[in-house]
Structure 1
C-alpha cells in the first residue's frame, strides 16, 4: 500500500467518507472516524470561519475519547473565487490538522503552510494533466474524480485513469466514482488505488445533513436517474434528475456554459442541490454510519476472501 503505515493502522476499511457540500457535517465526520473510516467535510459547509473553528474543536474533542479513531480530512476549495480561502486555511493550520483534501484548482498556495505543521495534502484531479501538475508540486495523494462520481465529477474511465496515474505516481491514490459497496472498494485496490471515496451512500445516513426527502430520493433512484449539469458551481456535476427537473424554468438555476468555469458563490447559492453518483444504485435504505461501514467492511473482506479462494483454486488446477 502507498498510504502510510500510521494511517493504514487506524482504518478498519480503506475508505474516505467523501466531503459533500451541505451534506457533510461534524456528526457524519465523527461517526465515520469512530468506525475507522476517514471523515471529511468541505470547510465552506460552516457558515463562517468562526463556525468552522467550532466544528473542528467539536470533532477533535469527540475523537479524543476514541482510542484509535481514523483521521479526519477537511476539504478546502483552492479556487481563486473562494473568498474565505486564506481564513479557512489559517484555521486548519491553527488546529494542526493531519490531512487536507484540496479541490477545484492547484494546491500550490496551501502546500507550504500545511506542510509546516506536518499535514499531508491530497489533491482531487480529473485529468492526467491535473495529476501531473499536482505530482510535480509534491502532493502526498491524488483523489481521482472519475465518471460517475457524485457532485463535481470527472469523465475519465476509472480503470484507465487509475492505471495511467499509478504508472507515474507512487503516492496515495484515492478512487472517486462508483464505489457502491465493499466489492467495488476491493476492485479499486486491485486496480492500484489505495483508498476509495464513498459519498452517495453516506448521504443516505442518519448522521448526514441531508433532509428526509433527499434521502428518500436516493433510496428510490438508480444510476439511470443521475444526470450531468453545470447549474451547480458552473462545472459538470452529477445530480439527481428529479431535482434538476424541479428547477426547470428557474433562471437562477439555469445551466451555465462550461467556458464560464467554476465559481464558489454559484456553488454556495445551490448548496441544497441533490447530488448523487452512479453508486446510487447501491442505496437501498437509510442507515446509520456505523451500520453502513460495518456492511461495507463485511462486503470488502468477503470479496477479498473470494479472490484468495479463486487464486488458490487456479493454482491447484495448474498443478
Structure 2
C-alpha cells in the first residue's frame, strides 16, 4: 500500500481521458498528492515511454499512477503494461473489464494494482483476480461513473475488504475528502476540479464551461463509450450521433471529439487556477474539517 504518511493529502488526482498528461501528473506529485494519467492519452506506446521518461526525470518524491484499460478491445494493453514495467511504475489503476490479465505481470515486477469497481459483483471479481486496492466509482463521478451511494458502497466494501479503498465521485473540496476518510476510505479521487487547472490538457473553452457549470448541468449518457458516463449537458447536446450500442469499445474512448466530462463536484469549480494552488486550498479545507470533527468529538 502507498504510505499515506508520504502524502500531503490522501488524494489521487484522477486519470482523465484527454485531460491528464505529464505536466498535471508532475504538478500533482510535487504538490504532495498522487498524480495519474491514462496510458491511452499518449498516442502510442513509444510516446508513453517518452512520457514516463519525462516524469521520472522530474525526480518526484511522491509516486504516480498509470491507468490502463484492461478491456480486450484495448489493442495496446499488453504493450503499454510492458512499457510501465520497463519504467518501474509503482502503481497501476485498471479500468473497464476484468483486471486479471494485467495483474500477474505487474505483480511480478513489484507494481501494485488497483481496480475500478462500480458494484459488489465487480468488487468480488477484482479481488479474485488479486488486485491490491479498489477504486469505488460512485454516483456523481465524472467520466465513467457508478450508480451506488458512496456511503453505502464504502461501508459494504469495507465489511469484506481491509485493503486500500479509493472513493471516486463527488469529492469537491477538502471537507468532502475528510468525510471520505471518516467513512472508511484510505484515499479520495478528485478529477473534475483538476480539469480546470492550467496544467491539464483541456482547452480553454472546456475549462470555462466547467467554471460556469453546476451539478445540475451534468448528465449521464452511454453515447460516448457505451458505458454510463457523466458529461456536461451542453456538450452532449452539441454532439451528433446515435446512442452507442454493444457495450464498451476502446475506439469509442479514443473518439477524436473531445468530450466534456464532469462530475457532480463541478459545483466546486469556481475558477481556472494552477494545480499547486488547488492542492494548497484543498489541504487547508481538509485540515479545517479535521479540526472541526475533533472539536465535535470533544464537546
TM-score range, shorter chain: over 0.9
Task: Say if 2:279 is the partner of 1:287.
Answer: no
On the 8 A contact 1:148/1:178 being kept in 2, the answer is yes
Task: Say if 2:56 is the partner of 1:60.
Answer: yes
Match for residue 236 of structure 1 among 219, 228, 232: 228
Task: Say if 2:19 is the partner of 1:11.
Answer: no
CA distance in 2 between counterparts of 1:271 and 1:283 reads 23
Alignment gaps of 5+ in structure 1: 314-319
**Structure 1 runs of 4+ with >2 Å offset:** none
Task: Say if 2:169 is the partner of 1:183.
Answer: no
Cα RMSD of the aligned pairs, angstroms, is: 0.9
On the 8 A contact 1:234/1:267 being kept in 2, the answer is no
Task: Say if 2:44 is the partner of 1:48.
Answer: yes
Shift of 1:245: 1.0
CA distance in 2 between counterparts of 1:111 and 1:242 reads 38
Aligned length: 299
The match for 2:243 is: 255
Q: Could you list the per-position Cα deviations for residues 237-273 of structure 1 after superposition, in whole angstroms to 9, with x for gaps in the alignment?
A: 00000101111xx23xx2124xx11000011015510
Q: So what's the TM-score if we normalise by structure 2?
A: 0.98
1:132 partner SS? helix
Shift of 1:135: 1.3
Q: So what's the TM-score if we normalise by structure 1?
A: 0.92
Q: Could you list the per-position Cα deviations for residues 110-158 of structure 1 after superposition, in whole angstroms to 9, with x for gaps in the alignment?
A: 1111111111100000000000111122211000000000000000110
CA distance in 1 between counterparts of 2:168 and 2:256 reads 22
CA distance in 2 between counterparts of 1:20 and 1:231 reads 17
On the 8 A contact 2:8/2:33 being kept in 1, the answer is yes
On the 8 A contact 2:170/2:264 being kept in 1, the answer is yes
CA distance in 2 between counterparts of 1:9 and 1:270 reads 40
1:9 partner SS? helix
Task: Say if 2:117 is the partner of 1:158.
Answer: no
Shift of 1:233: 1.0
Task: Say if 2:31 is the partner of 1:35.
Answer: yes
On the 8 A contact 2:100/2:130 being kept in 1, the answer is no
Alignment gaps of 5+ in structure 2: none
Shift of 1:175: 0.3
